[in-house]
Structure 1
């Protein structure tokens, strides 16, 4: 019997996070003992997620569940959860940093129509018609999107290095939309003033990966993978769509897939292909699979058949930018920890 595997999935209560859990259950043999730790913001969602996963695989005997309540918008919450996991587990095999989001304000429907008519594949892959609010900061006084998509993930994974060391894998979840990010602006590293903070945060996450992947591999024997789920239907933009516009969006997803887009996997389970592949199937010793120099994307053909696409990453320029971001995050984390120790913050 193989040793027990432990997987931590942030944002596991729906969409891609839940799909990652399901795909893990399908890919890891039933003879392998497995613990899935779900991270949600609220107890009710954690319980509901665990119950759904139990129903998903009722025949699996060597399976257990755990949960932590995590709010990425509070570094106090991040440190508290890290402490809980360090106390509970001697080793964590897979850390899926899936939770995150954006401060979306709606859709520019006129702009969306023009984009779709001009180039439907590009419009549905790199949409420039999504409107985002500018200037939101967290309770820690840090750019909110920067914190929930980059800083909190970095702090959590670094705190967990002692139990990840010796072969653990950290899975960053990026986005194909990072391809249209603005050039890096050191003066707005926290993405407070940009009008596309979500997209820019996913690009900055790629820089962070470039800066730490080789270092953590050499020093801790921890593999850090950069992945993205292609384009799939999740609830991240649900507040700005109704049944009709949701139908229209899904219809266009299928259209552009038939027109040749490899990224419109549509289904979240197919979107989970790349993150789960990186966690349990990627062989870093092979030429095509070094954790520090490849970005795995979930892709599919016109018929919806899944496959993994690789993109070279980790250039020297990306590493330099990543080093700048990591240095800033170390300062922000240290300042936040000092405030927490002084009792000056609250979850």
Structure 2
């Protein structure tokens, strides 16, 4: 009988936050799984690898250095991944950026006692936070490049490693409840004209996931989007000053009575990603986002919310990104789109 190949899980942004929590939980669930930590910082990647190995001696853990927000870095990493692996079974599109975040105190105070608006505000962050984006040296908007385009390049360039030998590949996106259709403009994919670049980028992830399922399921490629909830990480830490976080965290924990997606910890935040990883592909709903939730005493659980997406818009978005990718391959930076 032929020996079964060791399954491989690639995780972008794996040295901290949700990415590291996913790596830890994967090793707890499957001792034979091979991990590829795709990280920007070599020192932090090595530290994460050592920490994971300490918790699971004998685990097979590789490192690929990649800055997902840098096109040149992504292409270099893609080649390294192709040289190293014959197949990828799970790909966690997790690395992300928010840009410079501004907290809208006026909106908070104005709507705090309006139940419907307040719940929407805490669930999605819409109105509460505004993001100021920057431009990369390659001419792309930073949040778009990191959250969308770098991952899109990996998706397209690694396609030959997906769905190999009759085994399905799962693409699992770290999206957000902040992914709102109203923030998205098909004619402004990089969100140059607005202050909700993070929301727009995560909505694009939702659209890409749907298109993958509509187009590539027959090739054994399946995609799901997840929402880790509100997690206290280095990225979200910039929203408020440190002293205010120390006061707010216990209030946010109590808020779980009304908004269970206040997961706070990375362990609870990773719940939906692990849940999707566990489920058979046949049971996954391409029109749903899987939400991480936590009870008052931090018991993690998952539920589903219908995506506000349609196949036509998903296809248009995918095609526009393909056009951008072809231009990138034919020319040198900086690029203008």
TM-score, normalisation: structure 1: 0.87
Aligned match of 1:283: 280
State the match for 1:149 in structure 2: 147
Aligned partner of 2:73 in structure 1 is 77
Distance 1:211 1:90, change over 3 A: same
TM-superposition CA deviations, 1:40-71 (whole Å, max 9, x none):
1121111111111112223xx3x111111111
Unaligned runs of 5+ in 1: none
CA distance in 2, matches of 1:104, 1:112: 19
Deviates more, 1:238-247 or 1:95-104: 238-247
The corresponding residue for 1:140 is 138
What corresponds to 2:163 in structure 1?
A: 165
> 2:292 is matched with which residue: 295, 298, 318?
298
1:327 is the counterpart of 2:327? no
Q: Hey, what does 1:184 align to over in structure 2? A: 184
Deviations 1:57-106 (A, max 9, x none): 23xx3x11111111122111111111110110001111111001111243
The count of residues paired between Structure 1 and Structure 2 equals 327
The residue number in structure 1 matching 2:33 is 34
From the superposition, tell whether residues 55 and 207 of structure 1 become closer, same or farther in structure 2 (CA, over 3 Å).
same
Distance in 2 between the 1:173 and 1:106 partners? Answer: 22
Q: Find the counterpart in structure 2 of residue 245 from structure 1.
A: 244
In the alignment, is the contact (CA less than 8 A) between 2:39 and 2:64 conserved in 1? yes
How far the C-alpha of 1:237 sits from its partner, in A, is 2.7
Cα separation, 1, equivalents of 2:108 and 2:82: 46
The unaligned stretches of length 5 or more in structure 2 are: none
Taking the TM superposition and a 5 Å limit, the aligned residue runs for 1:3-14 are 3-14=5-16
Q: Contact 2:12/2:38 (CA < 8 Å) preserved in 1?
A: yes
Q: Is the 8 A contact 2:10 2:88 kept in 1?
A: yes
Question: Deviation of residue 221 (structure 1)?
Answer: 0.8
Q: 1:247 to 1:123 in 2, by over 3 A?
A: farther
Q: Structure 2-normalised TM-score?
A: 0.89
Contact 2:6 2:33 (C-alpha < 8 Å) held by counterparts: yes
Deviation of 1:228 after TM superposition, in Å, equals 1.4
Equivalence for 1:228: 227
Q: Counterpart of 1:177 in 2: which secondary structure?
A: coil
